[in-house]
Amino acid sequence: MDGPGPVETSGRPAWSGDGLHYGGAWRSASGRQRLPVRSPATGDVLGSVPIADAADVTAAVAAAQEAAAPWARVDPLDRGRHLRNLGDLLRARMPELAAMESAITGRPIREMRAQMSRIPEWLDYFGGIAAGLEGEANRVRGGYLTYTAYEPYGVCALLTPWNHPILILVKKLAAAVAAGNTVVVKPSELAPGTPLMLAHWAAEAGLPAGVVNVVTGEAETGALLCAAQAVQHIDLTGGTETGRRVAAAAGARLVPCTLELGGKTPVLVFEDAAVEEAAAAAAFSAFVAAGQTCVSASRFIVARPLYEAFLAAFGRRARALRLGDPSDPATDMGPVIARASRERCLAHVRRAVEAGARLVCGGGRPDLPAPFDAGHFIEPTVLADVTCDMPVFREELFGPVAAVLPFDGEEEALRLANDTPFALGAAVWTSDVARAHRVAGAVRAGMVWVNDHHKNDPRSIWGGFGDSGYGKENGWDALRGYQRKRSVVVRTAPAFDDWFAGGKRYG
């Protein structure tokens, strides 16, 4: 069926129609169950999407499977052209995309505009490097030529989160599609709108029908997608417990998966750091996206000589942040995604204070005018004198709560930083170049920033280990991760060396 176009019609969001999007078109869901999509800033219902059932998932996977072989045969240079066309279309619709994402996630429009401006780079980058993925060849003993060749998996399942619905989807999709795969996307039920629109725009940009497909729903829809026999690779960004279930589902069918999961990012601030710069970065790293990123800074481990000065500067910056309407360019921080998220964060703050932590600022709900008084806002919160046994130090909160504690010496700083099962991101603040390299090499994290935080680029690999998952996004690692590598051995000797007739060569 024909679905809504990329503009609002009759007050209904463009993505909130009857359908799912697969096979290059909007499709009616087989069932009638729907999911409301609410604004976290006001609680208002923005629209709704279908809950895809087994029949819907089967149809979407079939569309992707039908397109897989023809798409794999497309020359990588031509695949790259298709991706760049989609990137150009996203650039042209950046204001619309940013407004949609801000409304659905509650992130401030200024933040979203900045993020959206970077997203086409992933399409440009992977579209550009796909043709450079070359095999190797060697002549080996006995008169043989061996060479390697890459081939796509076929149908890939992309399970994406609500905190960066388009950014994380494009990071995965650009690599998967450039490598010659087709994809079926299952976005978070909390933020399904922009992934649906991306599928619509991919068809508009000229990608063949079935290359990009989206089914919406809850956890059961994702489980159905992971269990589909045609799906040969699974890529998830989500929570650690969800990652365990996805890894088990992939393992049951012996298909590979990439998992970008939780984090509890430590920031180590040494005594020679510039305190105002470190505090400004702390406010950004802890409170951008209301603390709802996998690498949000949530543990600040600060050298004792700088501790009180850092707390004063950090608290001053946190108190100055403006909360409110996400569509207002003056807003610095929006709400968390759901009421349950807000209550979880506030409960952690209360327990930490009861256990002896010092509340530097925040710790409650801001006083906002209607309709934002009904939103899921939390004051930017800084807790001092936290101890390493407090849950606020150990558990991923996914909210604007920063735990700060002092250290004495580099060895203790690293012990505190590494006291976690997570190993995703970390940051080091120091003016000592030798220390910067030494600590970056010893801290347990897949990505380490020195005198900065959360910088991301399509050329810089992204991913962790431990409870933070495995596999990599970005760079050549991501492109290779979406392909199988095969070896071909060709006899160049003039005659077959018959083993049972006295031949001696063997491999």
Nearest to 404, CA basis, from 289, 304, 293: 304
Give the whole-angstrom CA distance, residue 135 versus residue 115.
35
- Residue 119 · residue 90 · CB < 8 Å: yes
Dihedral-angle region of residue 350 (phi above 0 means left; psi in -120 to 50 means alpha; beta otherwise): alpha
Residues with Cβ within 8 Å of residue 219, at least 6 apart in sequence: 242
Residue 300: the pLDDT is: 98
Q: What is the mean pLDDT of the chain?
A: 94
**Mean pLDDT throughout 342-365?**
97
Give catalytic status of residue 101 as yes or no. no
Does residue 5 have a pLDDT over 80? no
Residue 4: the pLDDT is: 32
Give catalytic status of residue 171 as yes or no. no
DSSP 3-state of 321: coil
Nearest to 113, CA basis, from 377, 317, 327: 327
Does residue 8 have a pLDDT over 60? no
What tokens does 481 get?
Answer: 């991760």
Q: What is the pLDDT of residues 99-122, one digit of tens each?
A: 999 999 999 999 999 999 999 999
Residue 497: the pLDDT is: 85
From 101, 111, 189, 260, the catalytic residue: 260
Q: What percentage of residues in the chain have a pLDDT greater than 90?
A: 92
Does residue 506 have a pLDDT over 80? no
- Residue 404 · residue 381 · CB < 8 Å: no
| Confidence grade of residue 17 (pLDDT, cut at 50, 70, 90) | low
Residue 142: the pLDDT is: 85
From 101, 189, 396, 473, the catalytic residue: 473
Does residue 145 have a pLDDT over 80? yes
Does residue 2 have a pLDDT over 70? no
Does residue 16 have a pLDDT over 90? no
Give the whole-angstrom CA distance, residue 322 versus residue 209.
44
Give the whole-angstrom CA distance, residue 194 versus residue 169.
10
DSSP 3-state of 262: coil
Give the whole-angstrom CA distance, residue 398 versus residue 337.
10
| Confidence grade of residue 241 (pLDDT, cut at 50, 70, 90) | very high
Q: Which helix (H) or strand (E) holds 159?
A: strand 155-159
**Mean pLDDT throughout 399-423?**
97
Q: What percentage of residues in the chain have a pLDDT greater than 70?
A: 96
Give catalytic status of residue 485 as yes or no. no
Buried b (16+ CB within 10 A) or exposed e, 240-257: bebbebbbebbeeeebbb
Residue 486: the pLDDT is: 94
What tokens does 232 get?
Answer: 């040969």
**Mean pLDDT throughout 455-466?**
95
3-state per-residue secondary structure call for 180-213: CCEEEEECCCCCCHHHHHHHHHHHHCCCCCCCEE
3-state per-residue secondary structure call for 370-385: CCHHHCCCCCCEEEEC
Residue 18: the pLDDT is: 64
What tokens does 356 get?
Answer: 């002896």
| Confidence grade of residue 3 (pLDDT, cut at 50, 70, 90) | very low
Does residue 505 have a pLDDT over 50? yes
CA angle 28, 30, 32 (to 5 degrees): 90
Q: What is the pLDDT of residues 194-223, one digit of tens each?
A: 999 999 999 999 999 999 999 999 999 999
Residues with Cβ within 8 Å of residue 15, at least 6 apart in sequence: 4, 47, 49, 100, 192, 193, 194, 196, 197
Residue 9: the pLDDT is: 36
Residue 285: the pLDDT is: 96
Does residue 370 have a pLDDT over 60? yes
Give catalytic status of residue 151 as yes or no. no
107 half-sphere exposure, CB direction, 13 A CA radius: 27
| Confidence grade of residue 135 (pLDDT, cut at 50, 70, 90) | confident
From 156, 226, 257, 294, the catalytic residue: 294
Beta bridge partners of 450: 428
Judged by average pLDDT, the poorest of 123-132, 332-341, 367-376, 498-507 is 498-507
Residue 245: the pLDDT is: 96
What tokens does 361 get?
Answer: 């600022």
Q: What is the pLDDT of residues 43-84, one digit of tens each?
A: 999 999 999 999 999 999 999 999 999 999 999 999 999 999
Nearest to 323, CA basis, from 351, 270, 364, 267: 364
From 171, 172, 264, 472, the catalytic residue: 172
Give the whole-angstrom CA distance, residue 485 versus residue 150.
5
**Mean pLDDT throughout 264-293?**
97
